[in-house]
Amino acid sequence: MQSNIKLGRIHGIEIGLHYSWFIIAALIVFSLGEHFRQVYRNWGTSQIWITALFTAVLFFVSLLLHELSHSLVAQARGLKVKEITLFALGGVSQIESDATDAKTEFWVALAGPIASLIIGFGCLAIAAGLGWRRPAEPRTGVAAVLVWLGYINVALAVFNMIPGFPLDGGRVLRAIVWAITKNADRSTRIAARVGQVVAFLFILDGIWEFFSGAGFGGLWIAFIGWFLMDAAKASYAQVEITAAFQGMRASDVMLRDCVTVNRSMSLQEFVDTYLLKTGQRCFAVEDHGRLVGLITPRDVGAIPRERWDKTTVREAMRPLEELHIITPDTQVLDALKLMAGNDVNQLPVVANGTLQGILSRSQLMQLLQARSELQLPTAHYPPMAAHG
Ligand SMILES: [Zn+2]
- Report the distance separating Cα 189 and Cα 202, nearest Å: 20
Model confidence at 388, pLDDT cuts 50, 70, 90, reads: very low
Least confident of 12-16, 154-158, 203-207, 211-215: 211-215
Q: What is the DSSP letter of 212?
A: I
Contact 18, 63 (CB under 8 A): no
Query: What pLDDT does residue 263 have?
Result: 85
The 10s digit of each residue's pLDDT in 62-120 is 989 999 999 999 989 888 888 888 877 677 777 776 677 888 889 999 999 999 999 99
Q: Ligand 1 centre from 124 Cα, in Å?
A: 21
> Among positive and negative, which fits the CA dihedral 9, 119, 71, 386?
negative
Any alpha helices (H) in the chain, and if so which ranges? 21-39, 45-76, 102-129, 141-160, 168-181, 184-209, 216-245, 250-253, 267-270, 276-278, 297-301, 313-316, 332-342, 361-373
pLDDT at 52 over 80: yes
Query: What pLDDT does residue 3 have?
Result: 65
Q: What is the DSSP letter of 132?
A: -
Q: Ligand 1 centre from 153 Cα, in Å?
A: 12
Q: Ligand 1 centre from 54 Cα, in Å?
A: 23
Using CB atoms within 10 A of its CB, is residue 336 exposed (0-12), middle (13-18) or buried (19+)?
Answer: middle
Model confidence at 126, pLDDT cuts 50, 70, 90, reads: very high
Averaged over 179-205, what is the pLDDT? 85
Using CB atoms within 10 A of its CB, is residue 118 exposed (0-12), middle (13-18) or buried (19+)?
Answer: middle
Q: Ligand 1 centre from 112 Cα, in Å?
A: 5
- Report the distance separating Cα 82 and Cα 67, nearest Å: 12
Phi, psi of 24 (to 5 degrees): -70, -35
Closest CA to 316 of 305, 327, 326: 305
Q: Ligand 1 centre from 382 Cα, in Å?
A: 19
Q: Ligand 1 centre from 167 Cα, in Å?
A: 7
Query: What pLDDT does residue 132 have?
Result: 79
Q: Average pLDDT, whole number, for the chain? A: 82
What's the pTM? 0.66
Query: What pLDDT does residue 378 have?
Result: 44
Q: State what percent of residues in the chain have pLDDT above 70.
A: 93
Averaged over 193-214, what is the pLDDT? 85
Better-predicted residue by pLDDT, 380 or 93: 93
Better-predicted residue by pLDDT, 252 or 387: 252
**Protein residues near ligand 1, an ion, with CB under 5 A:** 112, 160, 168
Q: Ligand 1 centre from 387 Cα, in Å?
A: 7
Closest CA to 290 of 358, 352, 359, 360: 352
Averaged over 38-50, what is the pLDDT? 84
pLDDT at 377 over 70: no
Q: Ligand 1 centre from 13 Cα, in Å?
A: 16
